[in-house]
Chains A and B, each alone.
Chain A
Amino acid sequence: MTNQNTADGPQPADGLILRDVAIRLDGRRLLALDRRIAPGETLTVMGPSGSGKSTLFAFVAGFLDPAFSATGSVVLDGHELTHLAPRQRRLGLLFQDALLFPHMSVGENLLFALAPTLRGRRARRQAAERMLAKVGLEGMFDRDPATLSGGQAARVALARTLLAEPRALLLDEPFSRLDQTLRIATRKLVFARIRERGIPAILVTHDPADAEAAGGPVVVIGEAGGDGPADPRVRTGEAGAEGTAGEAGGEAAP
C-alpha cells in the first residue's frame, strides 16, 4: 500500500496530499482541490453551508456517501489512503460536538482510543491520565461525560483524538459550539498541539477567526446561489486577507 519506494512518479514528501481531488453528485462537480499540506500546517477550507465542505471532510476520512463520486487521491506521508477503510487511515477527527461516548466514563473514552499495543491496566491508565493533564483536566478520569462543561468536553475530545496517535487531523467546525472565550482558548490548545506533533491538519469552517488562528493557507470553496453548477474557486493566501472570502463565494463561473 505504500508508494514511498516505487520508482515511477515523484517521491511524495511528508504531509497530506490531496491530489486532483474532485467530487461529483449526479454528474455535477461540487468541488475540486489539488493541495499539499505540510507537517504541522493547517489548511483551512471555507465556504458557505452547502458548499461541499463536509463532503470533502467525509471523502478524506473515508465516509463519503456512495451517492457521490470522487476522483483523485489522498496521500498521507507517502501512503495512499484513498482505498483504505476509515479505521486504517489513522486520521484524527474532531466534530462540532465532542461526541464523547455517553456510556463510558471520561477515562474509558480515552482508553478506547489508546492503541492496544500499550499493555497493562496501570500503564494504560497512566497514559490516559497524562493526556488528560496535557489538556488541563487532571483527575477527571472517572467523571461522567454528561457532567462536563462544553469546553471540558471539547478538550476531552481532543485528548481522545491525540491519544490514538493520528498522523493527520480533520477538524469539522470544532469550535462553533463554544462560547467566545472558550473558543479562543480551545483554538489555541488545538493548534498548539498540531504544531507540537508536526502533523498536517484540515480545518473546515465558516468562521474567518478560525482560519486566522490556524495561521495556514486558506481555500474557499463556494457554489452559486441556486441554479446550476459552479466551479469551486480555490484561493490561497494568508488568513487575514481572506476575511470576506466567504461572501465572494456567491458569484458563479459558468
Chain B
Amino acid sequence: MPTLVTWFVPALLALPVGVGLAGVVLPAFGYLPALGGETFSLDPFRQLLAVPGLAASALLSLASGLLTTAVSTIGVALFLAAFHGTAGDRLARRLLAPLLAVPHAAAAFGLAFLIAPSGLIFRLLAEPFGLTRPPDLLIIGDPLGLAMMAGLVAKEMPFLLLVAFAALPQADPVRRSRLAASLGYGRMAGFLLTVWPGVYRQIRLPVLAVAAYASGVVDVALILGPSLPAPLAVRLVAWMNDPDLSLRFMASAGALLQLAITGAVLLLWLIGERLVGLLRRRVAASGRRHGRDGTWRIAAGIPVALAGGAVFFGLAWLFVWSIAGFWAFPAILPPSVGLATWSRTLESAGGPLATTFLVAILSAGVALVLVVILLEARRRQFRASAGRAVRLTPAMAGLIYLPLIVPQIAFVFGLQVAVLSLGLTPSIPLLAAVHLVFVAPYVALALADPWYAVDPRYEQVAASLGHGALARLFRVRLPMATAAVLTAMAIGFATSVGQYLPTLLIGAGRLPTITTEAVALASGGNRRIIGAYALLQTLLPFLAFTLSATLPRLLLRGRGGMRRA
C-alpha cells in the first residue's frame, strides 16, 4: 500500500507534463483533427523555420537560461563564502522572506521603474549631469535582453539563497571553515573549496529549475525583455493566442524547439558543472591559500545586495508611482500625491483578486494534502527505528520536480489543447488543478526535510500509549511540524499567485487573475496603474508569509519547546 502511494502521487503530478507534451507533439507534426490536421507532416516545422528572427529568439532564450543561472548561482556562492556566519548573513536571512513573497512580475516592474530612462536612477543623476529630459537610451527591452536577465537574477538569486541556507547545515560549515582556516586558507577560499561543493550538491535541483525557468520565461520577458525579436517563449504565446488557429501547428513545433533549447541549457550547465569541478580540484591541489581576501569579500556581497536592493527599492518606487499625481522628469519625488489611482484600481481589481486568492488557497491546500500523504507513505516504507534518514528516491523526486524542469510553455499549451478537446470550460477548480502541478513541487521541497526531522520516537511513545496512525498524524506529527507546514503552505500559495502562463492559457482569458492583469498592463505604460497592480500582486503572498510566521506563535503560545521549529 505505501509503495503504491509513493508512486501514485509523483505520477499524478507528472501526468500533466506527459499529457501536455503529447498535446504538443501531435500538432507539431501536423496532427490535430479538431483544426483540420488529419495527416502527419513536417509543414509546421518548415513554417517555423521560415519565421524571421527565429535564430535570434532562440539564442536569447538560450543565453537567458545560462546567464541568469550562472550569475545567480555564483552570486549566492560568493555571498555565502564571504559572509557565512557574519552579521551580513543574519541580515540576509531576515530580509529573505519578504523578498521571496514578491512575484516575478512585480519584481520585474519594480526593476523597470528603477532603470528606465525616466526611472529613479536617471532622476538621481539628472542634477549632477544636467539632464532636463530622460536620456534617449533603450534600457528596458534592450536587444540583448540584459534588462530581462537582470530582472530574473533579482528574483532567482534570493530563491537560491533560501535553498542554500536550508542546505548549509548538512555541509557542516562551521567546522569545515575552521579546519580550512587552521590550515591557513582565506575565508572565501576555505568556504568555496570545502563547504560549497556540499551545498551545491544539495541545491542542484532548484538550480536546474532556475535554468529551465529562465530559458522559457514569459512574464518577465514581456515586461523587461526585447520585442524585436522577443525570446522564443514570448513569440510562442502570441502564436498560441492568435485568432488564426492554423498558427497553432507552428506554435506546437515552436514548443518542441523551446523544449530542445531548455534541454541544451541544462546539458551545457551540466558540462559547466564538470568544468568548474575540475577547476576547483586543480585550485585545491595547488595548495595556494588565498589568505588575503579582504577586498574580495566586500565585492562578493555586491550581487546579492544589488538583487535585494533592486527588489526592495523597486517595490518602494512602485508605491510612490501608485500615489503620484503629475510628476515630471527630473523631480525625484512627485510634487503631489493622491489616492485617485488606488480608488480606480480597487474598483476593477476586486474580481481578479478574488480569483487569485481562491485558486491559490485551493491549489496550496490540495498540494499540502498530497505531499503529506506522499511523505507519510514513504516513511511507512522505512519504519521508525531505522538509523537511515528517510528520503524520497531520486526517481520519485524527479517525477515531482519534472514540471519545474520541463519549460512551462512546452507542455501547458498541450494541456490547453487537451482541455479543449475534452470539452472542459475554464473554471476555478480546473485552474487550481493546473496550478497544483507547479505548486506541489515547491510544497514538497519546503516540507520534506522538516517533516522527516520530527523525532520518530515521539510517535513511538504515542503508539505505545495506544494511539492509532491517524491520531499520531493529527495530534503529534502535524502539530509538531506546524511552522514548517504553514511555511510550505505560504510558499505554495505564493507560487500559485505568481503563475502567469498557465493562468493565461488554461483560463483562456475568462479567469483573469491579478497576475495576468498586471502583466497585461506592461504594454500600456500607465505607470500609476502598473504600480498599484504590482503592489496588489505582492500583497497576497506577503499576507500569506506574514500569517505563516505569526500563526505558530499564536497557536503555540507558551510552548517554549516549539520555538526552534
Instruction: State the A residues within 8 Å of B (CB).
Output: 54-55, 58, 61-67, 85-93, 95, 97, 99-105, 112-113, 115, 144-147, 160-161, 164, 166
CB distance from A119 to the nearest CB of B (A): 16
Cα-based distance from A152 to B385 in the complex (angstroms): 26
- A64-B385 in contact given A97-B457, A103-B482, A146-B559 (Cβ < 8 Å): yes
Interface centre among A95, A103, A145, A164 (most CB of B within 10 A): A103
Given A101-B458, A104-B559, A105-B559, 4 further pairs, Cβ under 8 A: A86-B463, A99-B457, A112-B465, A161-B464
Q: Check if B461 is an interface residue, CB within 8 A of chain A.
A: yes
Contact assessment for A63 and B462 in the assembled complex, using a CB-CB cutoff below 8 Å: no
Partner of A93, one of B382, B464, B480: B464
**Total number of A-B contacts with CB less than 8 angstroms?**
94
Contact assessment for A164 and B559 in the assembled complex, using a CB-CB cutoff below 8 Å: no
Cα-based distance from A62 to B565 in the complex (angstroms): 28
- A63-B475 in contact given A87-B464, A99-B461 (Cβ < 8 Å): no
10 pairs across A/B with beta carbons < 8 Å?
A63-B463, A65-B382, A87-B464, A91-B464, A99-B455, A99-B461, A102-B561, A103-B479, A103-B482, A160-B465
Partner of B562, one of A63, A102, A113: A102
Cα-based distance from A112 to B476 in the complex (angstroms): 10
Partner of B460, one of A66, A86, A160, A164: A86
Partner of A66, one of B383, B455, B563: B383
Contact assessment for A112 and B475 in the assembled complex, using a CB-CB cutoff below 8 Å: yes
Q: Check if B468 is an interface residue, CB within 8 A of chain A.
A: yes
With a cutoff of 8 Å between Cβ atoms, the chain A residues found around residue B460 in the complex are 61, 63, 86, 93
CB distance from B208 to the nearest CB of A (A): 32
Cα-based distance from A58 to B464 in the complex (angstroms): 12
With a cutoff of 8 Å between Cβ atoms, the chain A residues found around residue B562 in the complex are 102-103, 146
Find the A residue at minimum CB distance from B467. A87
Cα-based distance from A62 to B383 in the complex (angstroms): 10
Contact assessment for B383 and A64 in the assembled complex, using a CB-CB cutoff below 8 Å: yes
Cα-based distance from A54 to B387 in the complex (angstroms): 11
Contact assessment for A103 and B556 in the assembled complex, using a CB-CB cutoff below 8 Å: yes
Q: Check if B524 is an interface residue, CB within 8 A of chain A.
A: no
Q: Check if B560 is an interface residue, CB within 8 A of chain A.
A: yes
Contact assessment for A144 and B559 in the assembled complex, using a CB-CB cutoff below 8 Å: yes
Cα-based distance from A86 to B462 in the complex (angstroms): 9
With a cutoff of 8 Å between Cβ atoms, the chain A residues found around residue B385 in the complex are 54-55, 58, 63-65
With a cutoff of 8 Å between Cβ atoms, the chain A residues found around residue B386 in the complex are 65, 67
Cα-based distance from A54 to B468 in the complex (angstroms): 23
Interface centre among A63, A91, A145, A166 (most CB of B within 10 A): A63
Find the B residue at minimum CB distance from A145. B561
Q: Check if B384 is an interface residue, CB within 8 A of chain A.
A: yes
